[in-house]
Amino acid sequence: FESWNKFRRALRREDQEAFDTLFAAAKYHVAAMVYASRVTPLEAILMGILVEHQKAIAQLNGRIRELEAAVLPSLALTPPDPAA
């Protein structure tokens, strides 16, 4: 991770924060990275990041489904009353 310090310092502050978040996500999977013992450590780092992104996507999709279920029934149009 330290080999990326120069790259990180060259980023804008908001990009540094995003970069830090990416590497923090990868660090959750250090045990898997070591177990995989890839020749190129970057491959393992990227896979750790992708795993965390996939989990976030699944969580967001679940939240979208919850919100749609709560909102869509209330948006359903009731048919006009023919007697009116």
pLDDT in tens, 39-70: 677 888 888 889 999 999 999 999 999 998 88
Distance CA 29, CA 2 (A): 17
Q: Determine contact, residues 46/54, Cβ cutoff 8 Å.
A: no
Report the predicted TM-score, pTM, of the whole model to 2 decimal places.
0.65
Distance CA 21, CA 33 (A): 18
Q: Determine contact, residues 52/25, Cβ cutoff 8 Å.
A: yes
Residue 14 has a pLDDT of 94
Examine the pLDDT at 31 and tell me if it is beyond 70.
Answer: yes
7 HSE (CA, 13 A, CB side):
8
Residue 4 has a pLDDT of 86
Joined tokens for residue 52:
């965390």
| 23 or 36, which is more confident | 23
